[in-house]
Amino acid sequence: MKKIILTLIAAVGLVAGAAHAAGGDTIAWDKAPNKTNDLASLQNGAKVFVNYCLNCHSAAFMRFNRLRDIGLTEQQIKDNLLFTTDKVGETMKASIDPKQAKEWFGANPPDLTVIARSRAGHGGTGADYLYTFLRTFYRDETKATGWNNLAFPSVGMPHVLWEMQGDRRPVFEEHESHGHKTQVFKGWEQVKPGTMTPLQFDQTVGDLVNYLQWMGEPAQNTRVRVGVWVLIFLGVFTVIAWRLNAAFWKDVK
Between the alpha carbon of residue 63 and those of residues 76, 82, 191, the distances in Å are: 15, 11, 39
> CATH says 27-237 is which class?
mainly alpha
Per-10-residue mean pLDDT of the chain, 253 residues long, equals: 40 38 63 93 96 92 94 91 83 83 79 92 93 96 92 92 94 80 86 94 97 93 91 95 89 72
Q: Quick one: pLDDT at residue 84?
A: 67
Between the alpha carbon of residue 253 and those of residues 74, 240, 246, 250, the distances in Å are: 68, 22, 12, 8
Provide the residue count of the chain: 253
pLDDT tens, position by position, 190-220 = 999 999 999 999 999 999 999 999 999 998 8
The answer to whether 207 touches 39, Cβ cutoff 8 Å, is no
d(CA 80, CA 51): 10
pLDDT tens, position by position, 2-13 = 444 334 333 334
C-alpha angle 91-92-94 in degrees, rounded to nearest 5: 130
The answer to whether 75 touches 87, Cβ cutoff 8 Å, is no
